[in-house]
A and B are shown apart, each in its own frame.
Chain A
Amino acid sequence: MQPTKKEYSDIPGTIVFDADQARMGYGINMFCMSLLKDENRKAFKADEAGYLKAYKLTPEQTEAVLKRQWNRMLELGGNIYFTAKLGATDGLSFQQMAAMMTGVTQQEYADMMLAGGRSPNGNRSKSEWKK
C-alpha cells in the first residue's frame, strides 16, 4: 500500500502529528506521559534504558530518547506536548526545547521571539528551504 500524499507534508520543518505518526509513536508518547508522576521521573532518571523497556520502543526511538534528539523523536511519532514532559524531567522549559529543535542557542531563540518571531515568509514550502 502506497502512503497517501498529504497536503501538509510540504510545510518545512514541521512534523504534523497525524494518525500515522500517532500509531508509530504510541510508545514514546505513553512513556513521556508516565513522567507526569514524580516517582516515575525518579525511576527513569535512575535507569533510563531499563525504564524504557516497559514501553516497547523501536531501537531508533530508544536511541532518540536516550540521546534527547528532540526532532528525531517527533519524526518517529512523538508529539511535542508529550516530549515536553521529558524536557520538563530534564529541567528544560518549552523555550529551551524550541531552541534545541531549531538549532540555535536559547538566547538567539529568545531574541528572535522578541523581534517578532520567525516570519512565515520563506517558511511556507519545503522548496523555499532548499534554496
Chain B
Amino acid sequence: MAKIIAGVATSHVPAIGAALDLGKTQEPYWQRVFAGYEESKKWIEKVKPDVCIVVFNDHATAFSMDIVPTFALGCAAEFEPADEGWGPRPVPTVHGHPELAAHIAQSVITDEFDLTIVNKMEVDHGLTVPLSLMFGQPKEWPCKIIPLAVNVVLFPPPSGNRCFNLGKAIRKAVESFPEDLRVVVFGTGGMSHQISGPRAGLINSDFDKAFLDGMVNDPKKLTAIKHVDYMREAGAEGIEMVMWLIMRGALDEKVHERYRFYTVPASNTAVGHLILENQELAAAAE
C-alpha cells in the first residue's frame, strides 16, 4: 500500500528561483538562504520518495480571475513550467502520477472535500521553487509530483482548519492506494510577508517561530488562527501559511522534527523550512 512517510514545509519565494537560474547561489546574500537547504537535499536523496504531493498556490499564472478554484488537484501526466513574464524557468517538466491523483480526487470528494480536478495547468514558481530547493538542478525531477493548488490570492482562502482536515482526507486516500509508494507531502508558501500596499515589507519573526513550533508540536492550535490574524500579524500574503496545514494534517499526530531552518529575508519574505517525519520513518532512521 502507499504511505505518507514525511512532510516538508518551505517558502516558495520567486527570487530564490531567479537566483538559482541566474547562477547567483554563491553570492553571500543567497548563500545564507541556500545553505539552509543543503541538509534537506541530502535527506530527500536518502528517503527517495516515489511521489511528492506539492501543496502550493498559483500566482495569477494558470488561473486568472476567470476561474478561481479553492482546491485544484493536478491529475495530468505532465505539467510544464509556466512563463511568468520573464520566460519559463529552466527546470524540467513536472511529471504527475495520474492514477494516484485520480484516486485521491475520488476518495476526498467522497469524503466531502469538493476539490476541482485540473488536467491542464502550467505550474509557476509556487511549485517549482520548492522542487529546486529540495532537489537542486537535475535534468529530470527524481520522482512523480502531484500538484495541489490552493487559492490564497482571492480572499478568503480556505481556513487553516479546513486545510488541516483536507490533509487528513488525503492521507486516508493515499493509504488506500494499492501500489507500494513512498509519499512525501510538501506544504509551501509563507512565512511572514506582505508585498502589497504601503505596509509592504512586514516581517514577524516571533509569529513565524511560534508557527514553526506549532507545526511540530501543536498543529491543532494553529488551525484556530483566523484569517485576519494571519494578515495582521504575518502580512497580507503571510496567509499562505494555511497551506502548510494541509501537509501537517496528512502526518501523524506526533512527528519527529528532522530539520528546521529560518532566515530573513529572501527578497520581501521570511524563509521558513521544516522536515517532519512520521513515526515509522523516524524509527527506521534511528
Contact = CB atoms under 8 A, between A and B. Distances in A.
Interface of A: 7-8, 11-19, 22, 25-26, 29-30, 32-33, 35-36, 71, 74, 79-82, 85, 88-89, 93-95, 97-98, 101-103, 109, 112-114, 116-120, 123-124
Contacts, number: 140
A128 to B, nearest CB: 11
B205 A26 contact: no
- Tier of interface size on chain B: 35 or more
Given A89-B85, A113-B268, A117-B203, 14 more contacts: A8-B227, A14-B198, A26-B65, A30-B66, A32-B60, A36-B61, A36-B85, A79-B196, A82-B65, A85-B60, A88-B86, A94-B267, A117-B202, A118-B199
B197 A74 contact: yes
A25 B65 CA distance: 9
B203 A71 contact: no
The 7 closest A-B pairs by CB, nearest first: A117-B203, A13-B199, A13-B198, A80-B196, A88-B85, A81-B60, A18-B155
Contacts of A14: 194, 196-199, 231, 236
A110 to B, nearest CB: 9
B64 interface: yes
Given A36-B84, A117-B270, A123 B60 contact: no
A116 B86 CA distance: 28
A98 B84 contact: no
A98 B195 contact: yes
Contact of A11 (B199, B237, B265): B199
